[in-house]
Structure 1
């Protein structure tokens, strides 16, 4: 079943708490970004002290053994805190302002649809997906894994509804691709998480052998679609530039899409190391 917006308190497991949280988020989402960024700066020391500090430090030290890891860790938490409040602001941010804050290069290549667009947790993933849906002619279908936290899931559903996205749970992608192919959609997939199954391809990434999903590659091969990559770079607080590049045309040889994707992702991380989501348990150990 496609995920569509349901008007309900963000925290559905406890009605009273959900309505209170809903009211708080609806109020704070109307605040200007400068104020929200100020809150993020104030909260950053607490977030840095309590949220996956060891995972972040280990990942950054291994990936950049000769860099100033203390500085990179601090910059990561600053950027992550900033991105979090920016997502909250999307509940009320005017579409025109979003399009002014997120600029695109090469987006016209997606206007005709029937394409796979690979993305990563770099820059501001949610802002870039929502903005993309407002600037290309083709409908955007986004594959996602519904969060375990009801509040986050309902937030994503609201944002998708607001900006014209369709969210598709990962376990339904096969039937939905076949069902929706007449719409000539762009299928966006975030492909930098650790794969859970055996369908994986191992590539050298951030200094170690790393497994990546082959699902996006299999989709492109099955549908004979071209594959694109979206690079999202922060240019200033609350401002991003997205560049869309073609990774491969069909037919796709096994492993070529994954390897091209990882090469582009590594370029983005090398350019702005603190802007990737280092809090993911991407590797089982250094």
Structure 2
């Protein structure tokens, strides 16, 4: 039954994706108003997360940022549906890369590279960073095999739909890689001989494989799977930011974290990633996934001690 519902919903989204983008933004404005003013969707979570992250933010600024967030959140959803039928050219107009040469150079020197990003911009459109195949230079990083790691959703229907949307959008750019669960990436990286880039969205709340960092003014558990892989194989790690310039326009920027993760101090990669992500969030506060319960898990006594040693802050 779930499989049938999944396919029906998918084909409904395919039909809806044929609508013009301006209509999607019109619908986004309506949904943003309803979610914020009528249904008050996760209002408490959003406001609490923002207020704790930016205690210096005045009430008026916080209220404005919350309003902007609802519009941004609905835009992500609408853009992701529109992208199903959008051409690679249209997607590349929406998403541009500021400094592709940085990743080109890293890929030229290394067989495998880790890329870490957060839930900024519209991460569902990340495949567009490959660019149109006919416009790529011979030495472009996008000519390498690119593996996108993802965390499975709890619902079978949601997991099917999101995987379908991501695979469909990603396949348009004719890249040699594909989308896999984050758990499968380690096995692939160890066995695969071909030049590859492994992409992790690494700012989700982790259950295991984690460390603690000070992030957005709070004790924060951070996923360490990307760093563990990079350290094990002594790989370079690159941070990817996706800034929302305006509605319908995103710009990606690469920043090198390290060229040899195995030679760095323990947890350097994860904490440097957290620092870079925090800086980018602070520059444009609404442009992050505030509606998720990012700080829902408690630290263990050992993690509390680690945090105190790291920051000098004790309970």
Provide the TM-score with structure 2 as the length reference. Answer: 0.80
Decide which of 64, 75, 92 is 2:54's aligned counterpart: 64
Q: Which moved more, 1:63-72 or 1:221-230?
A: 63-72
Alignment CA distance shift 1:224-1:234 (3 Å): same
Decide which of 69, 72, 86 is 1:79's aligned counterpart: 72
Runs of at least 5 residues in structure 1 that lack an aligned partner in the other structure:
1-11
Aligned residue for 2:2, secondary structure, equals coil
Decide which of 138, 144, 148 is 2:144's aligned counterpart: 138
Q: Determine the structure 2 residue equivalent to 1:253.
A: 265
Q: Determine the structure 1 residue equivalent to 2:224.
A: 214
Matched, 1:42 2:30: yes
Structure 1 residues 139-178: aligned runs within 5 Å: 139-147=145-153, 148=155, 149=158, 150-163=160-173, 164=175, 165-178=177-190
Structure 1 residues 1-286: aligned runs within 5 Å: 13=2, 15=4, 17-18=5-6, 20-48=8-36, 49-67=39-57, 68-111=61-104, 112=107, 114-127=112-125, 129-134=126-131, 136-147=142-153, 148=155, 149=158, 150-163=160-173, 164=175, 165-180=177-192, 182-197=193-208, 199-250=209-260, 251-284=263-296
Preserved CA contact (<8 Å) 1:36 1:85:
yes
How far off its partner does 1:19 sit? 5.3
Aligned residue for 1:264, secondary structure, equals helix
Aligned residue for 1:242, secondary structure, equals strand
Preserved CA contact (<8 Å) 1:228 1:246:
yes
Q: Which moved more, 1:116-125 or 1:45-54?
A: 45-54
How far off its partner does 1:205 sit? 0.9
Alignment CA distance shift 1:218-1:23 (3 Å): closer
CA distance in 2, matches of 1:57, 1:130: 31
Deviation by residue 1:177-209 (Cα, 9 ceiling, x = unmatched):
1222x2211100011111111x32211111111
Provide the TM-score with structure 1 as the length reference. Answer: 0.88
How far off its partner does 1:86 sit? 0.7
CA distance in 2, matches of 1:116, 1:21: 34
CA distance in 1, matches of 2:3, 2:195: 40
- When the two chains are superposed, the root-mean-square deviation of aligned CA atoms in Å is 2.0
Aligned residue for 1:142, secondary structure, equals strand
CA distance in 2, matches of 1:14, 1:75: 36
Q: Which moved more, 1:67-76 or 1:226-235?
A: 67-76
Q: Which moved more, 1:264-273 or 1:61-70?
A: 61-70
How far off its partner does 1:284 sit? 2.1
Deviation by residue 1:195-229 (Cα, 9 ceiling, x = unmatched):
111x3221111111111112111111111111101
Deviation by residue 1:67-105 (Cα, 9 ceiling, x = unmatched):
222111111111111111111111111111211221112
